[in-house]
Amino acid sequence: MWSAIYKCFDRWKRVEDSGGHVDDKNMWRAVKSLYEPSSKPTLLYIKPYALKMYAETYRPQELREIVGQPTALKELLSWFNTWPEQKKAAILYGRAGVGKTSAVHAVCKEMGVDLIELNASDQRNYDTIMRIVGNAATTSTLNGKKKLILLDEADNVYGREDKGGNRALSKIIDITQNPIVLTANAYWEIPQGIRNKAKMIEFRTLLPASIKKALKRIVKAENLNVSEDILQRMAKNAHGDLRAAINDLESLIGEEYYNPRDTETSIFQALSSMFRLHSTDVRKEFFNVDKEPREILLWVAQNMPMVYELPDAARAYYYLSRADVFLGRVMRRQYYKLWSYAMDLMTAGVSVARREKYHFKRFQSPSYFAALARSRKDRAMKSQIYQKIAEKCHCSSAEASEYVIMMKALEKENERAAALCKFFGLEEDEILYIFKKGDTILKAMEDLKKKEVKNEEKKADSAQKTLSDF
């Protein structure tokens, strides 16, 4: 369609900037007139930024344009103006579309600060972060201006492509000479070590009134004819996501009616409804939560004891235990229809188990995830050792773990243990991990190497002597 429109431009040369926005229906008539010579050419009016999305065109340029976040903006400015008196990094957290990234851009523009940004589309492994962010963090601009480093969606630094990214980030925060800002939807996905080095600033979910205010500003600027009722419905159905509401407004242009979007529900919203409503209908609240049943079970189990007292907690634990049984059956039988029963028990069951009045508590992410993060290094070390043993013994990693148990039994026999470690090609840190007295094993390995060198020298001397006899 765009190629046809460009032909329209070339054919009639009648495109001019009148301040109006592209009208989809008008655009279609123009394309249609290309193939119907008898039809009257249609004049298109287009702004220079008409191909830009509304969300980008109307991104706040000043802090006063950001709606619904007075406390967060005050904390952000305070941290920036007193840097590095508080902490060298700040983490802006909150659901998508509440103004985290826009706030950073606005601060940079108002304060005359250069912005170095690394977003989710960039590779963010150890080398990339050290090269780009590390250089920016430890150098100043040519004109002596301040720099602010932004790592967008920092809770998504994971996977094979981003290996080592968090380790690099932690190092850079320690040595940085410029402020560093991280944004995250789920702050608990950021390692605890990085969180401890940063100031946590919460961007709250926007109220419908704040979203409607921003939408009205766009409607006025674009000279659109959108009723107050539709704006109100858009603001409400966005569930606190201003970007989603703006995209809905843009998609409405040229449409006859407004079709509300299916939005993702945050786990916090779903938990709040479940503990507050005392109804089996809360099951529906979890339909749009982007988490698997096993993870939802962990969230409920973590937060239920903070909200429920005995005997409500006992009844809730019963339903949770039954849900866990069904999840186990899913794994064993690979019969995923049982997920439905598990979800009913862990949501509706827990909700109706409450008899006492609900008191709001601040929800926490499951401690299970924190424990996994703490044990990540330990699990990586085990995997590394098992893989080396498995390669030498031509067995699985599970079988290799049994060899480690036998190696530990040989700890007192230093020479035999050292010979095994050498055979498997184990490094110093791996030996220290396996054996309590790893130092003695390492010493035995050194002695073993010296003996081997002496034996090689003896063989060489013997061979030389044999040749000289001829």
Position 35 confidence tier, pLDDT thresholds 50, 70, 90: very low
Cis peptide before 311 (omega within 30 of 0): yes
- Contact between 374 and 325 under an 8 Å Cβ cutoff? The reply is no
Please state the domain extents for the chain. 2-51, 69-202, 208-252, 267-372, 381-465
- What percent of the chain clears pLDDT 90, i.e. is strictly above it? 6
Please write the tens of the pLDDT for every residue from 76-104.
Answer: 999 998 887 888 899 999 888 888 989 99
Position 75 confidence tier, pLDDT thresholds 50, 70, 90: very high
pLDDT score for 464: 67
In this model, does residue 237 exceed pLDDT 70?
Answer: yes
- Contact between 72 and 204 under an 8 Å Cβ cutoff? The reply is yes
159-173, 220-234, 350-364: range with lowest mean pLDDT: 159-173
pLDDT score for 470: 52
143-157, 170-184, 246-260, 412-426: range with lowest mean pLDDT: 246-260
pLDDT score for 91: 92
- Contact between 44 and 5 under an 8 Å Cβ cutoff? The reply is yes
For 443, residues 6+ apart whose C-beta sits below 8 A from its C-beta are 414
Beta-bridge mates of residue 91: 182, 200
pLDDT score for 318: 92
Output 238 or 105, whichever has higher pLDDT.
105
| Terminal alpha carbon distance of the chain | 92
Please write the tens of the pLDDT for every residue from 294-322.
Answer: 888 999 998 888 888 888 889 899 999 99
- Contact between 242 and 264 under an 8 Å Cβ cutoff? The reply is no
Position 167 confidence tier, pLDDT thresholds 50, 70, 90: confident
pLDDT score for 321: 92
In this model, does residue 193 exceed pLDDT 70?
Answer: yes
Report the phi/psi class of residue 368: left, alpha or beta, with left for phi > 0 and alpha for psi in -120 to 50.
alpha
pLDDT score for 92: 92
**Which two three-digit tokens encode residue 190?**
């950021």
In this model, does residue 18 exceed pLDDT 80?
Answer: no
CB burial string 409-421: b at 16+ within 10 A, e below:
ebbeebeebbebb
Please write the tens of the pLDDT for every residue from 115-140.
Answer: 888 876 566 677 778 887 877 777 77
The mean predicted confidence, pLDDT, of the chain is 77
DSSP secondary structure letter of residue 202:
E
Report the alpha-carbon angle 87-369-306, nearest 5.
90
Please state the separation of Cα 131 from the chain's center in Å.
21
pLDDT score for 468: 58
Cα separations (Å) of 244 from 55, 235, 247?
Answer: 9, 9, 5
Determine the residue type at 237: N
pLDDT score for 30: 45
Position 160 confidence tier, pLDDT thresholds 50, 70, 90: very low
In this model, does residue 151 exceed pLDDT 50?
Answer: yes
Whole-number Å distance between alpha carbons of 141 and 127: 22
Compute and round to an integer the Cα radius of gyration of the chain: 32
170 burial level (CB within 10 Å; 0-12, 13-18, 19+): middle
HSE, side-chain direction, 13 A CA sphere, residue 274: 34
Please write the tens of the pLDDT for every residue from 340-380.
Answer: 888 889 888 888 888 877 666 778 878 777 777 667 778 88
Cis peptide before 84 (omega within 30 of 0): yes
In degrees rounded to 5, what are phi and psi of residue 108? -60, -40
Average pLDDT over residues 58-74: 87
The matching CATH number, chosen from 3.40.50.10490, 3.40.50.740, 3.20.20.70, 3.40.50.300, for 69-202 is 3.40.50.300
Computed from CA positions of residues 172, 176, 178, 182, in that sequence, does the dihedral angle turn out positive or negative?
Answer: positive
Please write the tens of the pLDDT for every residue from 404-461.
Answer: 888 887 777 778 888 888 888 888 888 888 888 778 888 888 888 888 777 777 777 6
Output 197 or 411, whichever has higher pLDDT.
197
Position 175 confidence tier, pLDDT thresholds 50, 70, 90: confident
Average pLDDT over residues 19-25: 43
In this model, does residue 37 exceed pLDDT 70?
Answer: no
In this model, does residue 12 exceed pLDDT 60?
Answer: no
In this model, does residue 171 exceed pLDDT 70?
Answer: yes
Whole-number Å distance between alpha carbons of 303 and 354: 14
**Which two three-digit tokens encode residue 267?**
């786990």
